[in-house]
Amino acid sequence: MEKYLIVLVGPTAVGKTALSIQLAKALKTDIVSADSRQFFKELSIGTAKPDIEEMDGVPHHFIDCMSIHEPYSAGKFELDALNTIDEIFKTHDSTILTGGSGLYINAVCEGIDDMPPTPPEIRDNLMQRLENEGLEILRNELKVIDPQYFNEVDPNNSQRIVRALEVYQVSGKPISYFRKSKLNKRPFKMIKIGLERDREELYNRINQRMDIMIGKGLFEEAKKYQAYKEINALQTVGYKEIYDYLDGKYDYEEAVRLLKRNSRRYAKRQMTWFKRGQDYAWFHPDEFEKIMTHINEKIKRAN
């Protein structure tokens, strides 16, 4: 009997969580989260992590599974997620992989090459340049050597930009090369589904969700971990803007404006990433029946 991994992707605030739970209940299976920020126990509000009530009894994997202080990578997630999926398939014919982190989705679906280790002197040099010359200079270098990754990475995430430059300096190849040069055959079939909304509808949802997050205590959550703001998990949209506000770079109103603007920009980058994949079928999140029909037809044709 064939096993099926239902891959559900889409931008932030599109409605992945609600639909994935709906699908999991219909298919009587588990959800494997590939949202790289929902891994962390400390971060709940800014990551839009589903709570117990939202999960509605559906088993979720890779939520609240580690601390922001533990090093983790897409390569490690590939191994861990495949082991988890294998365990689920011992008792289920299908399971759901969902998230907005394209790199982590690709790690499970296709695999990623091991990136070269970085000598400390190269990292130290780049970190010194970041401090002396600023992020904009390093961003421009990345744009020249790897325009594909430049268009996808969070432009304010200094650690990921530095990492991309490290990889290039060590290997002579852009970091995007390592993310696509290896395609691993998986022992299961995949049904890939993308969720999208009209841009205005999506952007309104993003703005509304940010207001809700702020009301739930987003600023307080960020402040609690301010001492660790250089950690990669906190160098992301929803936290970095608050740390700049707390550091006095701008006022509260500007922080809220940037939180919403940068979240919208992040959604745009997510769509750019996922639209590259030619094997996704795209639906509005409200089209549950259509999505279930699509899944059932795919399974029927394969069998």
Q: Name the binding residues.
A: 10-17
Please enumerate, by residue number, every residue annotated as part of a binding site for ATP.
Answer: 10-17
The Cα 154–Cα 171 span in angstroms is 23
Report the candidate in 175, 170, 179 with the shortest Cα–Cα distance to residue 150. 175
What's 1's DSSP letter? -
User: Residue holding tokens 């605030």?
Assistant: 13
Main-chain phi, psi angles of 273, to 5 degrees: -65, -55
The contacts of residue 140 (CB under 8 Å, 6+ apart) are none
The Cα 149–Cα 273 span in angstroms is 9
Neighbours of 302 (CB within 10 A): 10
Report the candidate in 219, 207, 202, 218 with the shortest Cα–Cα distance to residue 260. 207
Please enumerate, by residue number, every residue annotated as part of a binding site for substrate.
Answer: 12-17
Q: Could you tell me which residues are beta bridge partners of residue 281?
A: 193
The Cα 212–Cα 292 span in angstroms is 30
- What strand order describes the sheet that includes 60-61? 60-61, 31-33, 94-99, 4-9, 189-195, 281-283
The Cα 269–Cα 41 span in angstroms is 26
| Max CA separation in the chain (angstroms) | 60
